């Protein structure tokens, strides 16, 4: 989480804590403690995934701060996308599963044939210092303006996403 230092135009990192076992219930408790520690003055939440982001959103709702404090997530889950449509979460990170699966399958087939596949990309292993051939795909920032892209990609269905109160929000977001 970042806390602005308004007079200097800089950002100062606020409280930061890992959540054991990625447990959403524990995340809510931890975030509530952070809110108390900061006297309710938290200016943004950078959550590792949409479930943890939702835990923070529930605490923000209790304090009538949802939609006022930006919350991010990752994984483009139905819940995360619904939070975005409702204005409680500003964005999530989406990584197209089909692209990842196609890339992994291509590498696995090459390995099974005893071949090496030149991907044209590499990363440096921080422990060994070796350069490792890689397939690096570009993650996509999903906001209210492009939630429809996740549905169009088939990652979530309109039926899953656009239930109940979210039906109108889906229509407004251009999800048909």
Residue 153 CB: number of other CB atoms within 10 A? 15
- Strands in 84-160 per DSSP E: 92-94, 122-124, 131-133, 140-142
87: which residues sit within 8 A by CB, 6+ positions away?
67, 144
Q: Which two tokens stand for residue 126?
A: 């921080």
Distance (Å, whole) CA 22 – CA 135? 27
C-alpha neighbours within 13 Å on the C-beta side of residue 72 = 12
Note the pLDDT of residue 7.
58
Per-residue pLDDT tens digits of the chain, which is 176 residues long = 555 555 566 777 888 999 999 999 999 999 999 999 999 999 999 999 999 999 999 999 999 999 999 999 999 999 999 999 999 999 999 999 888 899 999 889 988 999 888 888 999 999 999 998 888 999 999 999 999 999 999 999 999 999 999 999 999 999 98
- Residues paired with residue 52 on neighbouring β-strands, in sequence order: none
In the chain, what are the domains?
A: 2-95+139-172 (3.40.50.2300), 97-133 (no CATH)
- Residue 151 · residue 176 · CB < 8 Å: no
Residue 100's H or E segment, with its range, is helix 97-112
**pTM beyond 0.75:** yes
């Amino acid at each position: 989480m970042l806390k602005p230092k308004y007079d200097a135009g800089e950002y100062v990192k606020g409280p930061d804590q890992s959540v054991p076992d990625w447990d959403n219930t524990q995340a809510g408790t931890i975030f509530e403690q952070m809110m108390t520690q900061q006297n309710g003055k938290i200016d943004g939440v950078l959550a590792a995934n949409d479930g943890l982001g939702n835990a923070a959103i529930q605490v923000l709702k209790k304090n009538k701060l949802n939609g006022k404090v930006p919350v991010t997530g990752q994984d483009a889950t139905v819940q995360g996308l619904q939070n975005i449509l409702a204005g409680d979460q500003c964005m999530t990170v989406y990584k197209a599963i089909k692209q990842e699966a196609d890339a992994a399958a291509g590498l696995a087939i090459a390995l099974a044939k005893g071949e090496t596949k030149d991907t044209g990309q590499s990363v440096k292993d921080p422990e060994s210092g070796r350069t490792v051939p890689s397939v690096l795909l570009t993650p996509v920032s999903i906001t209210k303006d492009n939630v429809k892209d996740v549905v169009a990609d088939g990652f979530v269905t309109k039926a899953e996403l656009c239930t109940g109160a979210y039906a109108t929000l889906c229509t407004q977001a251009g999800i048909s």
